[in-house]
Amino acid sequence: MKKITSILCAAACAFAAVPLAANADDGGKVYGTMNIPYADFYAAELNNSVPVDAVSSATQNKWKGNSTGSMGDDGKWQNGGLAAGTFNEEGENGSGKILGVTFPVEISAEDLNSLSDKMGFTELSEKPVAYKPVTVQGGAASFGKLVDTDGEEALSGEMTVSSLTNWGDYQINVKGIPSECDIYGVIVKTKEGTDYGMRALENIWRNGQIAWGAGVKEKEPHGNVLSSEHYKSSQGKTITEVTFITLKGYSTLSGQDGYLPLKVADSLSVESGKSGKGSVTFDNSVLPSDYSVTGEVAEGFSVSGNTISYNNAQPGNYTLTVSDSNGKYSSIRGSFTLTTDTIPVKYSDGKLVAADGASLTDAANYLKNISAVTVGGKRYATGRRGVTIIDSQTGEIKLDAKSGEENVFDGSGNYKLTVEATGYEQNYEFEISEQAAVTTTTTTSSKTTTTTKTTTGKQKKTTAASGTNSPKTGVNGAVMPLALLALAGASAFTFRKKKD
């Protein structure tokens, strides 16, 4: 096992002079860190003629998270930023570009003096465990294959491969990754002999998640354009090794083959339809003639050819997954919506409950599909990052709901609410008046508007839902919502050294 020595380093700075002494025992070599562009960092590591590009980021903060991790006073590793160990440049409107990594190097004092661009060289007081040897020709630096003085570490984890990911065309998940260290690079090697270098943020994520675009998916969910030239040739190849580069050197997982199926499209187009019983079709023209279709949606759905049939399906969003039973091509997904023009809930005693003629299952499906609620003219989105105004389990109106530090309900005691729910063509509107105890229920759509008003004086606030009985269709839980992730971190630059 590799052992760790932490050395706190000064931040990379402009190098006006060379205040260092060469080590005679190392043939006049000196050690420090340099800002190494990805193309140069990986040049000697890969069998791939296409250089590794910088990472462009449209987001305003993640690319700045290049602080490195460290061991805390409690003996626990404190993770660095999402782009730990990298260096960058800022663009317009908060965008940025991750250019490469700040990594230890070995260079002769003479070569260092001859460099026209010292690349932020910062001297180290000790020889690092792992470093890039630097040679200089014509005043320009070139970087050799990493020297791992502690010996390559063999990992004993597990690798899984997926072609269904929001973050690129392929994603691999590796268990048993190097621990208590920042990951500066990852090399994915294939049986066919071509290697691929991975970069922070666009490719390398925490917990051993690595994704890349191979020329089919153009953007990831944050809107960042995927740079795919270096990775296009990975389609159809088989991964045999995954090597992590840290300040301790190489750590490699091998002996687990992972096939990267040929990508045929980023997504499928599926038509929407009505809930209950029916069928919709999807566009299978993007599939090769030898693609053997196996389709899956949810319980109560079946796929034959390019037709999806269903019984007792609730309103909401659904996802079709089409797979090639021969395994040659990648799986593809397409989303579609089943809708109804009936509202299966009504307002009663501070909550939304099943409307007359609607089942509890119908009401529960409506509650979990609420996508936005407008209160007093201000619209609030729901969901993981939204505001919970109506409890998705109980239907209770949350009068203490907040949007940031702002109260959704201002204390006036007189509120009009408009509820939007995915799969329900009409919005549900009702008014709560603590003063006059008057409740108005309105269903609205682009075609018609119907209003029913019930005055109850000082009695309980209650209304009858507009429209006819709701369809008694299917079971709760048929809808498949989606979600994403974000992380952040901070700390100091850490190097590892083997103890004598």
pLDDT in tens, 268-309: 999 999 999 999 999 999 999 999 999 999 999 999 999 999
Higher confidence at residue 473 or residue 349?
A: 349
Q: How far apart are CA 341 and CA 232, in angstroms?
A: 46
Length of the chain, in residues: 500
Quote the pLDDT of residue 474: 36
Which of 418, 495, 430, 496 is closest to 461 using CA atoms? Answer: 430
pLDDT at position 241, please? 97
**What average pLDDT does the segment 475-482 reach?**
37
Q: Which two tokens stand for residue 313?
A: 């399906």
Q: Is pLDDT at 497 greater than 90 in this prediction? A: no
CA distance 36 to 160: 30
Buried b (16+ CB within 10 A) or exposed e, 82-93: bbbbbbbeeeee
| pLDDT for 123 beyond 80 | yes
pLDDT at 1 over 70: no
pLDDT for position 435: 45
Q: What percent of the chain has pLDDT over 70?
A: 81
d(CA 70, CA 56): 27
Give pLDDT tens digits for 140-149: 999 999 999 9
Has residue 154 got a pLDDT over 70?
Answer: yes
The band of 347, judged by pLDDT with boundaries at 50, 70 and 90, is very high
- What integer pLDDT is reported at residue 384 of this predicted model? 83
Residue 375 CA to residue 401 CA, distance in Å, equals: 11
Look at residue 481 in the predicted model and tell me its pLDDT: 38
pLDDT band of residue 336 (cuts 50, 70, 90) is: very high
* Phi and psi based region of residue 376 (left: phi greater than 0; alpha: psi -120 to 50; beta: remaining): left
pLDDT band at 449 (very low <50, low <70, confident <90, very high): very low
Could you tell me if 269 and 334 are in contact, meaning their C-beta atoms sit under 8 angstroms apart? yes
Backbone angles phi, psi at 40, to 5 degrees: -75, -35
* pLDDT tens-digit readout, 386-406: 999 999 999 999 999 999 999
Give the 3-state DSSP-derived string for the chain, with helices as H, strands as E and coil as C: CCCCCCCCCCCCCCCCCCCCCCEHHHCCEEEEEEEEEHHHHHCCCCCCCCCCCCEEECCCCHHHCCCCCEECCCCCEECCCCCCCEEEEECHHHCEEEEEEEEEEEEEHHHHHHCCCCCCCEECCCCCCEEEEEEEECCEEEECCCEECCCCEECCCEEEEECCCCCCCEEEEEECCCCCCCCCEEEEEECCCCEEEECECCCECHHHEEEECCCCCCECCCCCECCCHHHHHHCCCEEEEEEEEECCEEEEEEEEEEECCECCCCCCCECCEECEEEEEEECCCCCCCCCCEEEECCCCEEEECCEEEEEEECCEEEEEEEEECCCCECCEEEEEEEEECCCCEEEECCEEEECCCCCHHHHHHHHHCEEEEEECCEEEECCCCCCCCECCCCCEECCCCEECCEECCCCCCEEEEEEEECCECCEEEEEEECCCCEEEEEEECCCCEEEEEEECCCCCCECCCCCCCCCCCCCCCCCCCCCCCCCCCCCCCCCCCCCC
234 residue type, one letter: S
**Cβ(80)–Cβ(487) under 8 Å?**
no
Q: What is the pLDDT of residue 442?
A: 52
pLDDT at 22 over 80: no
pLDDT of residue 414: 85
Q: What is the pLDDT of residue 21?
A: 52
pLDDT at residue 57, as a whole number:
83
Q: Which residues contact 51 (CB under 8 A, 6 or more apart)?
A: 39, 42, 43, 230
For the chain, how big is the Rg over CA atoms in Å? 29
Q: For residue 115, is pLDDT > 90?
A: yes
Q: How far apart are CA 343 and CA 97, in angstroms?
A: 48
Token pair in block for residue 351: 């909550």
Question: What's the confidence (pLDDT) of residue 439?
Answer: 42
Q: Band of the pLDDT at 237, cuts 50, 70, 90?
A: very high
Mean pLDDT of 135-161: 96
Domains of the chain: 24-148 (no CATH), 153-259 (2.60.40), 273-339 (2.60.40), 345-455 (no CATH)
Determine the pLDDT at residue 471.
37
* Token digits of residue 151: 């010996």
Q: Mean pLDDT across the chain, nearest whole number?
A: 84
- Asked if residues 159 and 256 have their Cβ atoms less than 8 Å apart, the reply is yes
Closest CA to 345 of 276, 392, 399: 392
Span 174-217, pLDDT tens digits? 999 998 999 999 999 999 999 999 999 999 998 999 999 999 99
The terminus-to-terminus CA distance of the chain in angstroms comes to: 13
Q: Cα–chain-centroid distance for residue 146? A: 30
Q: Residue 432's pLDDT is what?
A: 86
Short-list 351, 348, 434, 427, CA closest to 389:
351
pLDDT at 500: 38
Q: Residue 91: how many CA atoms within 13 Å on its side-chain side?
A: 13
Contact partners, residue 294, CB within 8 Å, separation at least 6: 303, 322, 323, 324, 325
Q: How far are the Cα atoms of 92, 228, 425 from residue 96, in angstroms, in the given order?
A: 8, 18, 41
Give residue 230's pLDDT: 98
CA distance 49 to 64: 29
Q: How far apart are CA 160 and CA 207, in angstroms?
A: 13
